[in-house]
Amino acid sequence: MHDKQSFSELAALINQPYVYLDICNVNDHVVSVMRIEGQYPMHRHTKDEMYIILEGEITVNFKKDKPLTLKKGESTVVKAYTEHYTASDAPAMALVFKAKDYSVSPVPVE
């Protein structure tokens, strides 16, 4: 039997920024919905991470590259070990694909 998911209904369950709501596993990856609002600290991952914007607009800021603004329907992949942070002035919702075994490392402030 196949299940159907409503992203808007799932997203409505998230009332705090930067909280992942895991939807399913696809092979060795986790698919989650996340609310992005405000600014997350600079960090890096041990594996690639993909963002698809469902609602609103976010900016992915990179330590060694120019910022990338993503609007509804747009996506990007942040490669492993790339120092970055996400930010949004207004609540935004993203579908996030990440490896099950990835880890996050904060970047020291210089």
Instruction: Tell me the per-residue pLDDT of 45-71, one tens digit each, with 9 for 90 and over.
Output: 889 999 999 999 999 999 999 999 999
Which pLDDT belongs to residue 70?
A: 98
Identify whether the C-beta of residue 7 lies closer than 8 Å to the C-beta of residue 93: yes
Q: Please say whether the beta carbons of 45 and 102 come within 8 A.
A: yes
Average of per-residue pLDDT values in the chain: 88
Residue type (1 letter), 92: A
Q: Are 89 and 105 in contact (CB under 8 A)?
A: no
* Tokens standing for residue 25: 């596993």
More confident residue, 8 or 98: 98
Domain 7-103 indexed as CATH 1.10.3720.10:
no
Q: What is the pLDDT of residue 104?
A: 63
What values do phi and psi take at 97, rounded to 5? Answer: -110, 125
